[in-house]
Amino acid sequence: MEFWSNPIKAAADWLTSIFTGWGMPASAANVVVSLIGVVALIVVVMVLDIMLVWLERKIVARFQDRLGPNRLGPFGLIQPFADIIKLLIKEDTTPAGADRVVYNIAPILAMMAVLLLWAVLPIAPILFGVDINVGALYIIAVGAIGTLAIITAGWASNNKYALLGAFRQVAVMISYEIPMVVAILIPTMLAGTMGINSIVEAQKVWYFWLAPLAAVLFLVSALAELGRAPFDLAEAESELIAGHHIEYSGMKFGMFYAAELLHAFTFGGFMAAFFFGGWRGPGVAQFPLLGLFWFLLKALIGYWVFGWIKYTMPRIRIDHMLALNWKFLVPVSFVLLMVVALMNSLLRGSDFYVIGMFLSNVAVGWGALEIVRASARRQRKEIEAPAQAASPQH
């Protein structure tokens, strides 16, 4: 029972005792055990990434009313391994005039940015990288590295379409960081701490019930940050070929592609952690490792929702994307932040806390949509009125 209540710590202690038994000083043994833990987590994450390739193809197939890969292995499960082998043996051409060092660093940066996110994701109450007390801001910082990866990839390829795609993608990514940061600020404010595991622990009531509009904001801005549809203009084959990774082939392209899928899953995980209680679920108090199951379930549901949106909605144009952000999401997110802060301070501890917060969110959302609807009505009237005046039937 002692083992099951914290198997990770038991394993770490056992390894440390082996290393100090060999004569290593305690601090060095700790570093080595930490290194083993980090490598184990990253290996598991990479295997998860490989299975995500299969999952993505099955999801898109089902949405498009077909079967997806089903030839290699049972249910096509061996398919991703075949994909990896193909990518490994493909020739790696570097375009003429490309800036070699920067060209080679970009895919490594893209993957590194996603792997760094797993350092703060709370998978189970005892299983996470670190619970630094600035976890929420750390996510934004790592997002900055991802942005850098895209812009260096676009510039180093010596291809004007890559450059154009990279700039558009970076402009969209930095624009949508503002509503995402505000959407992260709201659970931070409700929990009173920035550490993500602490936010999960503070969720006696899921923050989705307390701030549903913040969850919707996070969903929309996360989709834009990930560069997934409907915000994937930079990768649209009919517009910019493949955006910043036009000139990449072989495993370098594999790194970009795997990084994108893993990034989507990681954001599904963050959505679960911030708004749906993370590893919380029945039975976690006795068996902390059960939290792993709940977390994976919630993250997979989040990933499925991302896929659902991607394979249902058409692509949005770049100027519409930016207008949506700066003229709708940013004002709504700031208004929501003020309303949630006020409601939280006023209603905290009273009986009407949950229902009051939920209704205030709904009110802000409804108000925002009404304002947009009124302005659209006004614009339509302006367009139709001169048209009617010029029409010959009048």
Partner 1 sequence: MTALQIIFLITAGVILASAVMVVTTRNMIHAALWLIVTLFGAAVLFALLNAAFIAVVQVVVYIGAIAILFIFAVMLTRREMRDRGAQLNSGWWLSAVVAALTFGGLFFLLRGWNGFSTHAPDLSSGADAVQLLGQALVSPDAYVLPFEVASVLLLAALVGAVYVAFQKKGEE
Partner 2 sequence: MHTEWLIIGLFLLVGAAVPGAAILTARIIAPRKPNPIKQSTYECGIETVGENWVQFKAQYYIFALVFLVFDVETVFLFPWAITLNVLPLFAVVEGIIFILILVAGLVYAWRKGMLEWA
Residues 76-105 that bind partner 1 (CB under 8 A): 99, 102
In the complex, the smallest distance separating the C-beta of residue 167 from partner 1, rounded to whole angstroms, is: 8
Does position 132 bind partner 1 by CB under 8 A?
yes
Question: Which of partner 1, partner 2, none does residue 96 bind to, with CB < 5 to 8 Å depending on kind?
Answer: partner 2
Question: Which of partner 2, partner 1, none does residue 102 bind to, with CB < 5 to 8 Å depending on kind?
Answer: partner 1
Does position 307 bind partner 1 by CB under 8 A?
no
- Hunting for tokens 């490994």 — which residue is that? 88
Question: Which of partner 1, partner 2, none does residue 341 bind to, with CB < 5 to 8 Å depending on kind?
Answer: partner 2
Does position 366 bind partner 2 by CB under 8 A?
no
Does position 16 bind partner 2 by CB under 8 A?
no
The single residue among 59, 115, 233, 316 that binds partner 2, judged by CB under 8 A, is 115
* Listed ranges 10-18, 31-39, 61-69, 225-233: which one lies at the site for partner 2 (CB under 8 A): 31-39
Comparing CB distances to partner 2, the nearer of 128 and 294 is 128
Which residues, 133 to 192, sit near partner 2 by CB under 8 A? 136-137, 157-161, 163-164, 167, 171, 174-175, 177-178, 181-182, 185, 188-192
Which residues, 40 to 69, sit near partner 2 by CB under 8 A? 42, 46
Residues within the interface to partner 1 (CB under 8 A) = 27, 99, 102, 132-134, 137-138, 140-141, 143-145, 147-148, 151-152, 155, 167, 170, 174, 177, 193-194
